[in-house]
Amino acid sequence: MRAALPFLAIGACALAVQSAWNVRRIRRPRPTGTQLAESVTVAIPARNEEATLRATLDSVRSQQGVPRLSIHVLDDGSADRTGEIADAAAREDPRVHVHHHPDTDPPPGWLGKNYACMNLARESDSDVLVFIDADVLLEPAAINALVAELRAGDFALVAPYPRQIAITWLERLMQPLLAWSWMTTVPLRVAESRQWASMSVANGQLMVFDAQAYRAIGGHEAVRGEVIEDVALMRSVREAGLRAATVDGATVAQCRMYEDSSDLIEGYTKSAWNAFGGLAGSIAVNTAMLALYVAPPVAVLIGRGRTRKWGALGYLGAVTGRAVVARDRGERVWPDALAHPASIVAFVAINALSWSRHVRGTTSWKGRTLQ
């Protein structure tokens, strides 16, 4: 490890430079200041979302510059007041349409959210189709700005990454890794210009499709069994020869994914096993992260001389990359960026737990088994 430290330190610094480059180059949607001529459908799959659905609906209903807006909510067998909240919004606003589905498992080969999104898409005949999770809050001009970006780049899909709200200690360790991971490893504008499917970056919390293109690739039916369906959808778009772009979503939307640490662990373990192309990929990626971001600060603590100096450089590179991304996205920078090695250890632990549950067949989410 002592011999490898210089390479690890240089690697961490190089990845921090990559993060800074993406911060400079990422597309940033801007509202047009005019009314959109196109029709837009916002599709909201909701299962047991009584705590957040009303606020999400209010943010969608408050959109500016989208005169031809319709909102479709699918109450997916909720056991709480999700359906009642959606129905109340529909009574207040004729643009809101609610579809109640029974609490049954989706058809064989389907995952629940993918099946719900497919059914919502069938209700739309709009020009643009926006999928949004029931815990996302939109800024007033968000959809206007995102549709403008969709059309300006002649894209079939625009995938913004909402700003992630992190409050508890585990959220503060884990949630910033979402944006940091792809800002650090994926050259966004290169991947976009060449439309590399393998470098697809998307977040299912918020996705904006040209509706015709969505149907042309088979929509959610084409990714029916995919746990990480958002990335799979972008890959499908690019493999079909259409254009897709990952854009900054921090200024147009925000989301607090999990209310407490137990929900966060459950949420990540349902899909982390599927993130790196199999067990071998998971082992390789997790080992690389530990080497790049945990070994250097350990060397600072227990090493001497040049070993400690190289470790300090590697740690500085890691903290710099984390801080650059957090500041750009309006997330907490200090002291959280200093705990980046702890974030990596937490992620590796959750990834191991995810694989354990997957192998044992105990992975579940919102009362449904996922395999």
CA 132/CA 120 separation, integer angstroms: 11
CA 108/CA 116 separation, integer angstroms: 14
**Which residue reads 């940033």 in tokens?**
28
Q: Same domain, yes or no, for 45 and 125?
A: yes
Q: Same domain, yes or no, for 39 and 19?
A: no
Q: Same domain, yes or no, for 130 and 229?
A: yes
End-to-end CA distance of the chain: 38
Residue 355 is predicted with a pLDDT of 92
Q: Same domain, yes or no, for 143 and 291?
A: no
Of 259, 280, 296, the one marking the end of a domain is 259
C-alpha separations of 323 from 13, 83, 293, 318 in Å:
13, 41, 14, 9
* Closest C-alpha among 314, 296, 322 to residue 13: 314
Reduced to 3 states, what is the DSSP secondary structure of residue 160?
strand
Of 229, 259, 289, the one marking the end of a domain is 259
Which residue ranges in the chain fall short of pLDDT 70? Answer: 365-371
C-alpha separations of 78 from 46, 53, 256 in Å:
8, 12, 20
Of 259, 289, 316, the one marking the end of a domain is 259
Residue 267 is predicted with a pLDDT of 87
Q: Same domain, yes or no, for 194 and 280?
A: no
Q: Same domain, yes or no, for 343 and 364?
A: yes
- Helix (H) or strand (E) holding 171, with range, is helix 169-174
Q: Same domain, yes or no, for 195 and 74?
A: yes
Domain count along the chain: 2
Q: Same domain, yes or no, for 304 and 179?
A: no
∠ Cα 269 118 64 (to 5°): 95
Residue 370 is predicted with a pLDDT of 63
Which residues make Cβ contacts (< 8 Å) with residue 14, sequence separation at least 6?
Answer: 317
Q: Same domain, yes or no, for 232 and 90?
A: yes
Domain range for 137 is 25-259
Convert 45-97 into a string of H (helix), E (strand) and C (coil): EECCCCCCHHHHHHHHHCCCCCCCEEEEEEEECCCCCHHHHHHHHHHHCCCEE
CA 210/CA 223 separation, integer angstroms: 17
Q: Same domain, yes or no, for 184 and 279?
A: no
